[in-house]
Amino acid sequence: MCGIAGFISLDGRRDPGWLDALGRTMTAAMAHRGEGAGAPYVSSCGTVMLCATRLAVRDRSDAGAQPMTDPGGRVVLVHNGEVYGSREPGAPLWPRRTTCDTEFALQQVCRESDPAAALRPLSGMFALAWHDTATGRVVLARDHFGVKPLFYAFTHGGLLFASEQGVLLRTGLVTPEVDPEEYVLRSWIRMDAADDHTWLRGVRSLQPAEYLVVDRPDTRTHRYWMPTPVDGLVSPEEIRDAFDRAVAERAVSDVPRAAVISGGVDSTAVVSALTRAGVPVDGYVLRYQDGIGGSGDDVAYAAEVAAGLGVPLTVCDLGREAAADLVPVLPTRLMRPLLHGAELAMHHLYGTVAADRNVVVYSGHGADELWGYQAGRYFPVVDPYAPTHIHGRHYLTHRLHADERPVWARLVGWMAQELGVDMSAVTDQVWARTMDEYRALKTASPLKRGRHHLLRRFLVYVNDMVDATSSTFTLEDRPVFQDVALAELAFRCPEHLKDTGEPGSSHKGLLKEALADLMPESVRHRRKQGFPTPTDPGYLRRLTELADGFGAPFGLPPLPAGLRAELGVGEWMFLASTSAWLDHLAEFRTHPRSHGEQFRPAVALADPGQPRRP
């Protein structure tokens, strides 16, 4: 875990002092993402600034400091995340000066003139930015699964980017505005809303397996990897070999390590494999208190797993008051309203992990999206047993989200009406934007198309949530299952082998068979559990009081009595967190942070005749 940021002028030379001050402001704004930072890089041509804060996990010496330059001084790179290696390793271009992965990534981008050729074989989770001083080209890149985020905005004649949206706002160069139609759209589709837009007007998110090239003054984006959806034989032994390699790659660390143990298949397999490899880890499991929801029997299963492996286990209790107190806080980190109780749980768990001085955390995020989920109503378009009429476009755009959460849909519909947003215009965009990843995979199989949607939409939502909550506590979360070799196997594997969908069949059956010896029988046969909706009346009252105290978001009138009576915990949490988030954005407008205002008058163009980028 690190943080990267920068500015690329698209219309001429800038004052070097201005660029340096901007870099130092952005570095300070992401100090929580690392334990140290070097001076910003400012190009001699005065058009590029790169900066980073570093969390040293491998090779903690100063030799791994960023920004990092190759021995010839041609390429300058900043790097967030971990690059474990390459599936197409080549001979080193120069004798390695460090054992850290940043230098490995630097050698890779120096080896290839084509960014796609450099990025495609990398194994890891990363966000990269590099400047080729010979050609003037700057490239921004995000890993295959979007584990590490990268946000950008065109502003003041240039492109501003950072690992977090709050860093962009801290400069004072990006105005924190919310477009009502975008707000309604993202609220309507909730956790599948991970696309290149964000909840803030003008702020974009680089997509998984995508890189952005800046050849001044032009910018363009490209996708460098997609899974291959061709059915073929996939054996449990093949899955196991890929999993073991993924664990071995991620086991390297020079800092203390922990692991999330939920007592489910994925986290149990990861911890068991690490323990067998002799990697010391501390285990952590979340327990909800006061009836506020969650998988209530996680602790029992986690305790069984930890005892069997000889792993110390810490139970992180989250009660009603602590959860409610987080509702106004988390939107300032996520830069959006709260959509799911998991956000509160992850934040609380990571805080406990960090308090014990751990730095690396292992998790099982991504296993469900690759190896499960096609049964039931989680994503009806990929359910082969569902009635054929639900596979139509109208259902996907107008009914899917409304049928899943009817009270939520009524609340969002009321907000749209009060905000003057045409709801039909919103639902029309569901197909064009949210479902484009369903259509993008070149296959006739609706099952594989649906899995690709999960990979590119819901999983990215999860990754963004995990990064925001873990980086708050200067932690690095390593999701073992988000591995390219495992993903290629998952998309090659016929979907019916993963879960037959028949009564009594096993969720993620093929994956469980491949990892069977890594878990007790009780875990292997445990039913899949998510985060049930909390029903505790005291918690509901507490959230209602929070929402009423903040007032209706956007200055909307009071809720109609009938609708108000229907709202549950999720809806009240959404309303309270929306108001808290909007208040936070207003603070940026009225009180720019970290001398952000100083950058406005300093944007003087060397050549006023050059066209500006909007």
Residue 448 and residue 437 in contact, taking contact as beta carbons nearer than 8 Å: no
Task: Identify the domain boundary among 174, 203, 225.
Answer: 225
Nearest to residue 8, comparing CAs of 223, 224, 213, 222? 213
- CA dist 246 and 238 (Å) reads 13
Q: Which two tokens stand for residue 458?
A: 């819901």
- Find the Cα–Cα–Cα–Cα dihedral 580, 584, 590, 591, rounded to 10°: 140
By C-alpha distance, which of 42, 23, 49 is closest to 170?
Answer: 23
pLDDT digits (tens, 9 = 90+) for 111-121: 999 999 999 99
- C-beta separation of 128 from 78 below 8 A: yes
- Residue 608 pLDDT > 80, yes or no? no
Give the amino acid at 246: A
Give the whole-angstrom CA distance, residue 394 versus residue 60: 54
Within this chain, do residues 455 and 330 fall inside the same structural domain, yes or no? Answer: yes
Strand, coil or helix: 281: coil
Per residue in 447-503, pLDDT tens? 888 889 889 999 999 999 999 999 999 999 999 999 999 999 999 998 888 865 554
The total domain count for the chain is: 2
User: 459 and 518 share a domain?
Assistant: yes
Written as one string, the DSSP assignment of 57-90 is -S--SGGG-SSEE-TTS-EEEEEEEEEEEESS--
Task: Report pLDDT for 526.
Answer: 87
Examine residue 610 and state whether it is found in any structural domain, yes or no: no
In a domain, 611, yes or no: no
Residue 416: give its domain's CATH number. 3.40.50.620
Residue 518 clears pLDDT 50, i.e. is over it: yes
pLDDT digits (tens, 9 = 90+) for 352-377: 999 999 999 999 999 999 998 655 34
Residues 240 and 197 in one domain: no
pLDDT tens column, 280-339? 999 999 998 876 666 668 999 999 999 999 999 999 999 889 999 999 999 999 999 999
- Give 214's strand partners: 138, 219
- Proportion of the chain above pLDDT 70, given as a percent: 89
Residues 416 and 365 in one domain: yes
Which residues are bridge partners to 141 per DSSP? 128, 211
- What's the number of CA atoms in the CB half-sphere (13 Å) around residue 405? 20
Model pLDDT for residues 176-215, shown as the tens digit of each residue:
999 999 999 999 999 888 999 999 999 999 999 999 999 9
Report if residue 45 sits inside a domain: yes
List pLDDT tens digits, range 560-597: 999 999 999 999 999 999 999 999 999 988 765 543 34
In this structure, the answer to whether residues 375 and 318 fall within a common structural domain is yes
CB 163 within 8 A of CB 148: yes
Q: How far is residue 295's CA from residue 264's CA, in Å, rounded to a whole number? A: 10
How far apart are the C-alpha atoms of 463 and 479, rounded to whole Å? 9
CA distance 129 to 67: 10
- Listed in sequence order, the DSSP H helices in 277-384 are 298-309, 320-326, 331-334, 342-355, 367-371
Cβ(26)–Cβ(170) under 8 Å?
Answer: yes
| Last residue of one domain, picked from the residues 201, 225, 249 | 225
Judged against a pLDDT cut of 80, whether residue 610 lies above it is answered with: no
Phi and psi of 390, rounded to 5°? Answer: -80, -5
Beta strand pairing status for 68-69 and 151-155? unpaired
Does 384 score more than 50 pLDDT?
Answer: no
The answer on 219 and 275 residing in a single domain is no
pLDDT at 599 over 90: no
Tokens of 317: 């209790």
Indicate if 214 and 232 belong to the same structural domain. Answer: no
Q: Which domain holds residue 25?
A: 2-225
Amino acid 246: pLDDT: 97
446 occurs within a structural domain: yes
Cα–Cα dist 569/588, whole Å: 29
- What is the pLDDT, as a whole number, of residue 514? 95
Is the distance from CB of 434 to CB of 189 less than 8 angstroms? yes
Tell whether 176 and 238 lie within a shared domain: no
23 CB burial (10 A radius; 0-12, 13-18, 19+)? buried
CA distances from 4 to 78, 136, 241, 575 (A): 6, 19, 34, 32
Query: What integer best gives the mean pLDDT of the chain?
Result: 89
At 21, is the pLDDT very low, low, confident or very high (cuts 50, 70, 90)? very high
Q: What are phi and psi of 170, to 5 degrees?
A: -65, -25
| Domain stop point among 225, 242, 269 | 225
> What residues pair up with 25 in beta bridges, in sequence order?
none
Most confident range (mean pLDDT) of 56-70, 148-162, 524-538 is: 148-162
Angle of helix 236-250 relative to helix 265-276, nearest 10 degrees, comes to 60
Residue 152 located in a structural domain: yes
| pLDDT (0 to 100) of residue 609 | 29
pLDDT the model gives residue 196 = 95
Assign residue 91 the CATH number of its domain.
3.60.20.10
Quote the pLDDT of residue 602: 35
> 214 with 239, same domain?
no
Higher pLDDT: 549 or 341? It is: 549
Q: Which residue has the higher pLDDT, 219 or 505?
A: 219
| DSSP-assigned states of every residue in 149-167 | --EEEEETTEEEEESSHHH
> Would residue 603 count as lying in a domain?
no
Convert the pLDDT of each residue in 119-161 to its tens digit.
999 999 999 999 999 999 999 999 999 999 999 999 999 999 9
Residue at 251 is within a domain = yes
- 437 lies in some domain: yes
Find where tokens 């989770």 sit. 125
> How many Å from the N-terminal Cα to the C-terminal Cα in the chain?
32
Co-location of 55 and 153 in the same domain? yes
Q: For residue 38, is pLDDT > 90?
A: no
Domain match, 106 and 56 both: yes
Give the residue among 521, 522, 526, 520 at the shortest CA–CA distance from 508: 526
- Average pLDDT score over residue span 555-561: 96
Amino acid 585: pLDDT: 95
Whether residue 185 is found in the same domain as residue 284: no
